């Protein structure tokens, strides 16, 4: 059963939300303040968090900041603050969606379902990318031999670490496709993205240096991640 953590200090509203979610076959845990929310999140490992902005102990934004230091769990913010600047702050800190009070229970359940479907689709794509058969790939003078786990450029060996090889292989297999840092970490590293992590950026930097004049085939998509330049020379 899908588990949801509701973080809401208005008891009557929380009871109504819990009842509606349970009627839709979700298991719900409730926290009335920010500190309890962080403790429960660690204990129950929810699939999704409904997080009120104005809560005691730690406000919703601080809870979100701390969550994003260790977790990419989807978060739907619940708040009476409707100003665009406030919504932007929440989204920039890592919220996945935003619902302004008062809201209908029907819309809340629809948002929950949409977020959970999105997470499921991403996981399916990750699994598909991990499970694709490996083959020899080439891009202009660059050749990746998956069987030998070797890279050559103009018939000269390029010394790549396993992570560098797998990252470059994923990019070469999907020219023109943009990959977010979160997706690359989950697919290549097998880890969840932690806010502020530089693992992907540092690996891309090393790859570009090792590819010398071909380093610019790995393009930065600002605010998102990276892609391989679509035009192929072979």
Last residue of a domain, one of 71, 104, 129: 129
218/187 same-domain check: yes
**pLDDT at residue 49 greater than cutoff 80:** yes
Q: Tell me the C-alpha to C-alpha distance, in Å, between residue 202 and each of 17, 73, 192, 207.
A: 43, 24, 17, 9
Same domain, 32 and 91: yes
Take residue 215 and report the two structure tokens written for it.
Answer: 């380093």
| Residue 155 lies in domain | 133-228
Does this model's pTM top 0.75? no
The CATH number of residue 137's host domain is 1.10.10.10
Pair 175, 153 in one domain = yes
Within this chain, do residues 140 and 123 fall inside the same structural domain, yes or no? no
112 and 211 belong to one structural domain? no
Which pLDDT belongs to residue 8?
A: 96
**Does the pLDDT of residue 166 top 70, yes or no?**
yes
Kindly tell me if the per-residue pLDDT of 194 is higher than 60.
no
124 within a domain of the structure (yes/no) = yes
Q: Does the pLDDT value for residue 220 go beyond 50?
A: yes
Helices (H), 24-98: 34-44, 60-67, 84-92
Task: Work out the end-to-end distance of the chain between its first and last CA atoms, rounded to an integer number of angstroms.
Answer: 49
Distance CA 165, CA 152 (A): 11
Residue 63 pLDDT greater than 60, yes or no: yes
- CATH number of the domain to which 99 belongs: 3.40.50.2300
Average pLDDT, the chain: 85
- Is residue 75 a contact partner of residue 5, using CB atoms and an 8 Å limit? no
From 77, 111, 129, give the residue that closes a domain: 129
Note whether 177 and 123 are same-domain residues.
Answer: no
- What are the strands of the beta sheet with 179-180, ordered from one edge? 179-180, 225-228, 218-221
How large is the angle between the packed helices 105-131 and 11-23, nearest 10 degrees?
60
pLDDT of 160 reads 86
Helix or strand (DSSP H, E) at 30 = strand 27-31
Domain count, the chain: 2
Q: Measured between alpha carbons, how far is residue 199 from residues 91, 116, 151, 202, 221 in Å?
A: 22, 27, 21, 5, 16
- The number of residues in the chain equals 234
Lowest mean pLDDT among 56-60, 106-110, 183-187: 183-187
Place of tokens 């953590």: 5
Task: Specify whether 140 is located in the same domain as 122.
Answer: no
Distance CA 128, CA 144 (A): 20
Q: Are residues 160 and 178 in the same domain?
A: yes
pLDDT per residue as tens digits for the range 79-122: 876 666 666 677 777 788 888 888 999 999 998 998 888 777 66
Looking at the structure, tell me whether residues 123 and 138 fall in a common domain. Answer: no
Distance (Å, whole) CA 41 – CA 21: 18
User: Cα 162 to chain center, whole Å?
Assistant: 22
In a domain? residue 233? no
94 and 157 housed in the same domain: no
Q: Give Cα separations from 2 to 26, 48, 86, 120, 172 (angstroms).
A: 5, 8, 29, 12, 36
Residue 123's pLDDT band, with cuts at 50, 70 and 90, is: low
Tokens describing residue 1: 């059963």
| Stronger pLDDT, 22 or 136, i.e. the higher one | 22
Considering only residues 128 and 159, tell me which one the structure prediction assigns the higher pLDDT.
159
Residues 168-177: tens digit of each pLDDT: 999 998 899 9
- The reply to whether 43 and 122 lie within a common domain is yes
Greater confidence, 74 or 21?
21
- Please check whether residues 15 and 103 belong to one and the same domain: yes
Taking CA atoms, 87 is separated from 91, 109, 122, 206, in Å, by 6, 20, 24, 36
Is residue 7 included in any domain, yes or no? Answer: yes
Among residues 185, 233, 170, the alpha carbon closest in space to that of 72 is found at: 185
């Amino acid at each position: 059963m899908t588990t949801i953590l509701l973080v809401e200090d208005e008891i009557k509203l929380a009871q109504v939300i819990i009842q509606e979610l349970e009627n839709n076959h979700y298991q719900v845990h409730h926290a009335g303040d920010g500190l309890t929310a962080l403790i429960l999140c660690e204990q129950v490992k929810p699939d999704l968090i409904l997080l009120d902005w104005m809560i005691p102990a730690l406000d919703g934004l601080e809870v979100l900041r701390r969550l994003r230091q260790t977790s990419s769990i989807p978060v739907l913010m619940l708040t009476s603050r409707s100003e665009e600047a406030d919504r932007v702050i929440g989204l920039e800190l890592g919220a996945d969606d935003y619902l302004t009070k008062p809201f209908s229970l029907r819309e809340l359940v629809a948002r929950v379902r949409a977020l959970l479907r999105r997470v499921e689709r991403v996981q399916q794509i990750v699994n598909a990318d991990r499970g694709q058969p490996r083959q020899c790939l080439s891009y202009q003078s660059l050749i990746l031999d998956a069987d030998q786990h070797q890279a050559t450029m103009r018939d000269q060996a390029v010394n790549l670490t396993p992570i560098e090889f797998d990252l470059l292989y994923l990019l070469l297999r999907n020219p023109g496709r943009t990959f977010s840092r979160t997706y690359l970490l989950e697919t290549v590293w097998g880890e969840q993205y932690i806010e502020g992590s530089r693992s992907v950026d540092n690996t891309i930097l090393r790859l570009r240096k090792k590819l010398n004049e071909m380093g610019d085939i790995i393009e930065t998509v600002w605010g998102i991640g990276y892609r391989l330049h679509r035009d192929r020379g072979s």
